[in-house]
Amino acid sequence: MDLVGDRWSLLILRDAFDGTRAFTDFQRNLGVAKNILSDRLRRLVTHGVLARQTAASGKRQEYVLTNSGEQLFTAMVALRQWGEVHAFDTGEPHSVLVDDDTGTPVPTLHLQRPDGTTLTAGNTHVQKLS
């Protein structure tokens, strides 16, 4: 949680999932100071969430999600969907995640047992593994 749980790392990941790759684009989109952005990108690369690669133009470096980073998609969708419901006033413009094939909003994520019962904080617990 320390790696991806701070504000800037989450916003960087959100933008990476939305297709942002260039340092300057992250900075413009997020309005983050260069030193903070450099630090968070370095940490995400060091921990294998993002990778640096040469852009197709060959002129600059870009940041892309690794397989490990892509595995955060479900968590990012859950946070995005929570924000779509709770972070905006009624009628306030905002974005919504849509299915590329159907153009419809992605259904709200729910955890379920195989029998279809919804799993919540009230019917689950953390079990330590030894």
| Predicted structure pTM score | 0.86
| Distance from the Cα of residue 50 to its chain's centroid | 11
Euclidean distance between CA atoms 15 and 21, whole angstroms: 8
C-alpha to C-alpha distances, 28 to 7, 33, 69, 87, 118, nearest whole angstrom? 16, 10, 22, 22, 40
Q: What is the CA radius of gyration of the chain?
A: 17
**pLDDT for the residue numbered 1:** 57
Classify domain 7-70 at the CATH class level.
mainly alpha
**pLDDT for the residue numbered 95:** 87
pLDDT digits (tens, 9 = 90+) for 11-44: 999 999 999 999 999 999 999 999 999 999 999 9
**pLDDT for the residue numbered 28:** 97
Which residue stretches of the chain have pLDDT < 50? none
Reference 107, options 74, 60, 130, 129; nearest CA is 74
**pLDDT for the residue numbered 4:** 81
Q: Residue ranges of the domains in the chain? A: 7-70, 73-124
